[in-house]
Structure formats: C-alpha cells, structure tokens
C-alpha cells in the first residue's frame, strides 16, 4: 500500500471541446477531497488546471501551485491559481519541485506540456530515479492512441514488457486513485534485454 498525501496533476490550461473533460476533472478533485489528498499542479485558473484546483481549494483541500517566474509575469491574474503558490525560475525547476512534493502523479487530457510532463516523469520512473505511481485518467478515450503507442513500442522492442505497466490507465477517477494507493513499486531496468 502506497501512502499518498498529495498528487501532482498534469493537465491542460484549456478545457477541451467536450464538457466531459471538465466534468471528470472536477470529479477527480472531489475524489482528492474524499481521500484527503492534496493537489500539486502547475498553477493557474484556466482550463482543466483551474477546474481541479478550484474544486480542491473550495472543498477545503490543500492546493499547491508551482509556476515559473516568466509565466507569472505574462498575466499574473490568470497565471496565479488557488491555494499556496511556489514561484521557481525555470520549467525544469517546476517539474523537479512538483516531483519532490508529490507522492504520485496523474495526467489528465492536455496538450504538448501535459504530454511532456507525463513522458518525462515516466522516464524518471523507468530509470528508477523515483518510485512513485503514475496514473493516466483516460477521459473519453483521449489517450487511446498513446496507450496503443506504448503497446506498439513494446512489440517493436523499444520499451521493455516490464515498463509497459509503469503507467496505470483508468477512465474512472475514484478507481484510478484506489489503484495508485495500492501500487507496489518494482525496480525497472531500462537497459534489460527485451
């Protein structure tokens, strides 16, 4: 059983075209409140980032936003979010701080930034730089192509079969959090023979 006091959420600063993205994001925020899990996120009040942080904050949960100084300078009102805010110098420092503060990670739908954060944290896990669970909330089949790409990469010998399960994929927020809490960490050797 993994003790989870806080989860870093990677998600879009847009809400997407379908209302279900925001609905499931708010549902995830309410699951955090039910389990007394704090939110670590990239700060901001827009899109899915705003939806989950507002839900957790207004529900009395702990919210910590981590934002680089240059983003804060763009538009402080939009970039500043709910709860505590930690200002860092670079995007790299942001990811490192979020990884340090979080006990687990969840990616929601999003764009380039969300995908980059998910892939980087998974790479860190694959290299055993951290042993924290990683979840993917696959809302409305948003990540189906990515999940298929992982399987294809295993079949083609670029990802080990052991690494296939580094990301826990689920479409139900409550079930995903439960799976993260029951996660058993294993060592993964990226350099093992396929």
- The confidence score (pLDDT) of residue 70 equals 86
User: Is 189 part of a structural domain of the chain?
Assistant: no
Contacts with 165 (C-beta within 8 Å, 6 or more apart), sequence order: none
pTM for the complete prediction? 0.93
User: Is 14 part of a structural domain of the chain?
Assistant: yes
- The confidence score (pLDDT) of residue 122 equals 96
Structural domains counted in the chain: 1
- The confidence score (pLDDT) of residue 112 equals 96
User: Is 1 part of a structural domain of the chain?
Assistant: no
CATH number, domain at 177?
Answer: 3.40.50.450
Q: Phi and psi for 95 in degrees, rounded to 5?
A: -65, -40
- The per-residue pLDDT string of the chain (194 residues; one tens digit each, 9 = 90 and over) reads 779 999 999 999 999 999 999 999 999 999 999 999 999 999 988 999 999 999 999 999 999 999 998 887 776 555 567 899 999 999 999 999 999 999 999 999 999 999 999 999 999 999 999 999 999 999 999 999 999 999 999 999 999 888 888 999 999 999 999 999 999 877 776 555 54
């Amino acid at each position: 059983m993994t003790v989870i006091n806080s989860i870093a959420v990677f998600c879009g600063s847009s809400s997407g075209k379908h209302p279900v993205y925001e609905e499931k994001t708010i549902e995830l925020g309410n699951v955090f409140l039910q389990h007394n899990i704090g939110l670590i996120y990239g700060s901001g009040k827009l899109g899915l980032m705003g939806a989950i942080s507002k839900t957790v904050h207004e529900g009395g949960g702990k919210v910590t936003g981590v934002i680089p100084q240059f983003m804060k300078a763009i538009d402080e009102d939009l970039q500043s979010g709910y709860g505590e805010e930690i200002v860092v110098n670079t995007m790299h420092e942001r990811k490192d701080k979020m990884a340090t503060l979080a006990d687990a990670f969840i990616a929601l739908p999003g764009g380039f930034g969300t995908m980059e954060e998910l892939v980087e944290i998974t790479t860190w896990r694959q290299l055993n730089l951290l042993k924290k669970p990683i979840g993917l909330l696959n809302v409305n089949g948003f990540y189906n192509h990515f999940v298929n790409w992982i399987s294809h990469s295993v079949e083609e010998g670029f990802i080990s079969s052991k690494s296939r399960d580094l990301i826990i994929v689920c479409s139900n927020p409550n079930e995903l959090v439960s799976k993260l809490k029951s996660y058993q960490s294993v060592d993964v050797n990226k350099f093992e023979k396929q």
